[in-house]
Structure 1
Amino acid sequence: MRRFVMKTINIALAADNNYAQHVAVVMESILENTDEINKVRFFLLSDGINAEKITGLQKTIAGKNAELVVCDLSAYKGFEKLYTSGHISKAAYFRLDMANILPADVQKVIYLDVDLLVLQDIAALWKFDMHGKAIAAVPDYGIMASKRLMQQKHEVIGLPLDKKYFNSGVVIMDLKQWRANDYSAKVIELAATGNFPHHDQDALNKLFMYNWKELPLSWNVIPPIFDLLPKVLFNSKFRASAIKARNNIAVLHYAGRYKPWEFVLKLGFNDKYYKYLKNTAFADADMPQPGKNMQGKSLGRQMFRIHTADFISHFLKA
């Protein structure tokens, strides 16, 4: 029987020079877990990544069924009115204008943040039926399980308290629809004019409030799920699905304060990051790489959360 050969899978990643190493790790995690009958085409939305690091990224995917297309956006205009800080860089907003940045023949793309690992075949995500929606994403239990944050979303973007809110770190975009409806201009305007605590993520949720397709929770396992935080664990609406996703992680997303590269290798927390790093052109990078603000971060505290979550998820499998 002949095997079905899928068309090229388009994946977009955005980063500045400081995050080039993490782009390499994300790409490596994808390629190690994707059937090589599928070609992966990476679009790197680069905010000034230097030539040496671009070469390293090219070397990381060399000899694999993959392609790296670098979009140098260091001089890109259009985000001058958007909020930036040490945590939110210009690169974080590139996803909002991908319909105009990427070539016109790219009609569909998976966007991924670069503080995550893809642990299952990305082809399964690529094949997901969007049912005609312009964007598909994973519900954000960190927001939805918090009465305070849901009230905040109700006040700042008008989200009804009984509706779902998505995380923008893993999304599928139908760029054909984005171009036809000029969604990029609309969401950039929202991000520029709205006083949004979660910036571009809030803007996306406001624009697509009733027009997005839900992806399985396993495709964006964020810390509130991975750590089984009390607000998730003790909420009957979220507990079972969170444990199920934690036991079948497709994307492990280190959203929030604890990044895997900031700490020494620790089994159960960041060992997979180190595993994939070892197979990139950045394998000799000095590690760990503490962030600018490490105040209050404790590896011991984080490992206690993880071990507790391991114990609970083992005995409460959904």
Structure 2
Amino acid sequence: RSKVAEQIHIGFGIDKNFGRFAGITITSLAHNNIEHDLVVHIVYDEILPEDMERLLRTEQLYRNLQLHFYQITSTEGMTFVVPPGHITQAMYYRYLFADLLPPTVTRLIYMDADIICKGGILPLWQTDLQGKVLGAVRDYGEDRSCGRIGLKNGRYFNSGVLLMDLVKWRQQKLTQQLFRWLEQVGNTKILWGDQDALNGVIDGEFRELPNIYNGIVINNTTLNEALDLVIVHYIDYVKPWHIYYMDGNAKTLYWEYVKKSLWSDLKPQDGTTVQTAVMTARLLHKQGKYAESASYYEALLKYFLKDKYQ
């Protein structure tokens, strides 16, 4: 243990579907930052009892880990614009740390719960924000996003990993500004919820972080395979815990940490849409599991032909 162990504050905002995945992310953080004290703040509306129990056991397991929980019971005064698709109201919980955490917490690394941390985050934690309220990594579809929400500066960040100056956030009353933006602009332009509002309000005034701290991975593409990433972020609605996520390094990495975690009994999850059934069938076929693949196509036929299928 180094003489002075740095205390690093990390935040998650989740609902009941993400307790386990946050647990897997936290396991990866604790595992790869053993010489620093990680203080993890979890803002949530609901956590399943079995996930809560395992989160508390994870805290016991790692001596460098402390967990604090903040339950949201009322969402008064908050405008949630939830676009259709895989995004939920919980994505807006990242706005609430400045208000919910004690004022002694002056900076925070916020992370989505679809992340694996595979290295040390001290350099990220110690990054000089140069007077900005946020540090973030630029998003890969930035031109389209800037055009859509009308940003003039051409810089748009991904909100999955944020280094937050909570003192400045509180001074600027950023939470109110964000909910106001959502109220005014919300339903007209929103595609990526919390991320659009953050970009709309901050409008390019963020400290740019190196890509290794939010290495975006999308199912079946290798955007960042070449980079030596510290933080791997599985964006998109197809997650590495889905049956139909393509085989590759990114998937292998994810399941390595599932196995190290207290959620090692996690089973790959099945989808519920026609699209996911087709993806599953294709992947099984690619893996040489022809009979299983055929059973998915058969289920699709039954679904489309309803009673005509005998």
- Fold in common (TM above 0.5): yes
| Aligned equivalent of 1:157, options 132, 149, 152 | 149
For residues 126-154 of structure 1, what are the alpha-carbon distances to aligned partners after superposition, in whole Å with 9 as ceiling and x for unaligned? 1111111100000111x13xxxxx24532
1:44 maps onto 2:48 in alignment: no
Contact 1:47 1:90 in 2 (8 A): no
Match of 1:133 in 2: 132
Q: What does 1:256-275 correspond to in 2, within 5 Å?
A: 256-263=236-243, 266-275=247-256
Change (3 A) 1:81 1:283: closer
- Tell me the amino acid that sits aligned with residue 30 of structure 2: L
Q: Does 1:295 align with 2:275?
A: yes
State which of 199, 207, 212 in structure 1 corresponds to 2:206: 212
Aligned to 1:251: 231
Note if contact 1:41-1:69 (Cα within 8 Å) is conserved in structure 2: yes
- Which residue of structure 2 aligns with residue 82 of structure 1? 81
- The letter of the residue matching 1:277 is V
CA distance in 1, matches of 2:165, 2:179: 17
291 and 193 in structure 1: CA distance in 2 versus 1, 3 angstrom threshold: farther
Q: CA deviation at 1:191?
A: 2.1
Structure 1 residue 125: Cα displacement: 1.2
Give 2:263's aligned residue: 282
Amino acid at match of 1:258: V
Coordinate RMSD, CA, aligned: 2.7
Q: Name the counterpart of 1:222.
A: 216
Q: Map of 1:2-17 to 2, 5 A cutoff?
A: 3-17=2-16
**1:257 is matched by which residue type in structure 2?**
Y
Checking the alignment, whether the CA contact within 8 Å between 1:261 and 1:290 is kept in structure 2 is no
Q: Which piece of structure 1 moves more, 204-213 or 269-278?
A: 269-278
Distance 1:111 1:226 in 2: 26
Deviation larger for 119-128 or 167-176: 119-128
TM-score, with length taken from structure 2: 0.81
- Assess, with a 3 A threshold, how the Cα gap between structure 1 residues 125 and 107 changes in structure 2: closer, same or farther: same
- Give, as a single letter, the amino acid of the residue that structure 2 aligns with 1:272: L
The Cα of 1:82 is off from its aligned counterpart by: 2.9
- Distance verdict in 2 for CA 1:42–1:291, change over 3 Å: farther
Equivalenced residues, count:
279
Give the CA deviation at 1:81: 4.6
Q: Secondary structure at the match of 1:104?
A: coil
The verdict on how the C-alpha distance between 1:181 and 1:80 changes in structure 2, with shifts beyond 3 A counting, is closer
Secondary structure of residue in 2 paired with 1:121: coil
Runs of 5+ in structure 1 lacking a partner?
Answer: 145-149, 230-241, 305-318
Structure 2 contact 118–230 (Cα < 8 Å) conserved: yes
State the distance in 1 between where 2:220 and 2:104 align.
Answer: 37
Give the corresponding residue for 1:56.
54
Equivalence for 1:201: 195
Q: Which has the higher contact order (CA 8 A, sep 6+)?
A: 1
**Sequence identity percentage:** 29
Summarize the Cα distance change of 1:261–1:159 in structure 2 as closer, same or farther, 3 Å threshold. same
Aligned partners of 1:228, 1:272: CA distance in 2, in Å? 13
Q: TM-score, normalised by structure 1?
A: 0.79
Paired residues of 2:219 and 2:236 also in contact (CA < 8 A)? no
Counterpart Cα distance in 1 of 2:5 and 2:261: 26
Aligned to 2:306: none
Deviations 1:254-303 (A, max 9, x none): 10132000027944131222211122222223x111244461563667xx
CA distance in 1, matches of 2:138, 2:220: 14
